[in-house]
Structure 1
Amino acid sequence: MQVSEMKYGERAIQEGQLITFPNPRPGRQYTIEITLPEFTCKCPFSGYPDFATLYVSYIPHEKVVELKAIKLYINSYRDRYISHEEAVNQVLDDLVAACDPLYMKIKGDFAPRGNVHTVITVEHHRQTESLC
């Protein structure tokens, strides 16, 4: 069996970072909704693949996450052994760290496996500074 070199898509996923850009309307609260229907990871117990649709909804503060960067970031989970709960929480943590939104909600709707359907929902509310 011949070992092949890494494909350009695999390299892009491996090197991908969550890139942001300035919010074009920082004085206005608006919601960005992103659907990621091809999320995959591996069960940390069995090694079987898990498939999910991730729904990301957020109100940006000063930065917005670039969509191609999110795609590459999400694809980096495909070979990762991680539970549904940890995966959705980690995605939230990483996106919040990248763009510091006013609010963010992520719902991971995992495809049924073994007659079990799992939906994980996590939220982040930006801490506001006290005026006291």
Structure 2
Amino acid sequence: MDAKHLGKTSALPASPEEAELDYVPNPRPGELYLVRFAAPEFTTLCPVTGQPDFAHLVIDYAPGETIVESKSLKLFLGSFRNQPGFHEGCTVGIGRRLTEEMQPQWLRIGGYWYPRGGIPIDVFWQSGTPPEGLWLPDQGVPSYRGRG
């Protein structure tokens, strides 16, 4: 295991491209199970106005040979804070990067974005068909309802 962040002081990366994700061996190789990360305070910048955009991200995956180390994931997600990006680009980009680097059996991400211009945007992506027998709980984030 060559973790760059675990047990060490780590600064927030300046950008998602500079962020290094750590992967460690799956402690239950050969078993089909689901891992969930929820990031209810994800932040990035609108690429047009420069104003902050906020989302509740839910990442579910069935590990392959490795799992993502949570501190490195937290730093990666935090690196979006001062970067411009459309909701679709951020959500799908996070899912693709994790899938390409970690190579899980399956991964999905739900990006539940708070309203911009009065319209909430939800973005969903998955790496393919979930493995048969994988328990897929609801992501638990209700559709935006405003005050009503």
Taking structure 2 as the reference length, what is the TM-score of the superposition? 0.74
- Are 1:104 and 1:124, in contact at CA under 8 Å, matched by a contact in 2? yes
Identity in percent: 35
More strand per residue: 1 or 2? 1
List aligned pairs for 1:1-132, cutoff 5 A.
Answer: 12-14=11-13, 16-125=19-128
- Are 1:102 and 1:125, in contact at CA under 8 Å, matched by a contact in 2? no
Q: Give the match for residue 6 of structure 1.
A: none
- Are 1:54 and 1:108, in contact at CA under 8 Å, matched by a contact in 2? yes
* Cα distance in 2 between the residues matched to 1:13 and 1:53: 20
Q: Whose radius of gyration is greater, 1 or 2?
A: 1
Q: CA deviation at 1:76?
A: 0.4
Q: CA deviation at 1:97?
A: 2.1
**Structural RMSD (CA):** 1.6
| Offset from partner CA, 1:32-69 (integer Å, 9 cap, x none) | 01101111111111111100010000000000000111
More helix per residue: 1 or 2? 1
- Are 1:65 and 1:98, in contact at CA under 8 Å, matched by a contact in 2? no
Gaps of 5+ in 2: 1-8, 130-148
Gaps of 5+ in 1: 1-8, 127-132
User: Which portions of structure 1, spanning 4 or more consecutive aligned residues, are displaced by more than 3 angstroms?
Assistant: none
Give 1:40's aligned amino acid: T
Q: CA deviation at 1:114?
A: 2.1
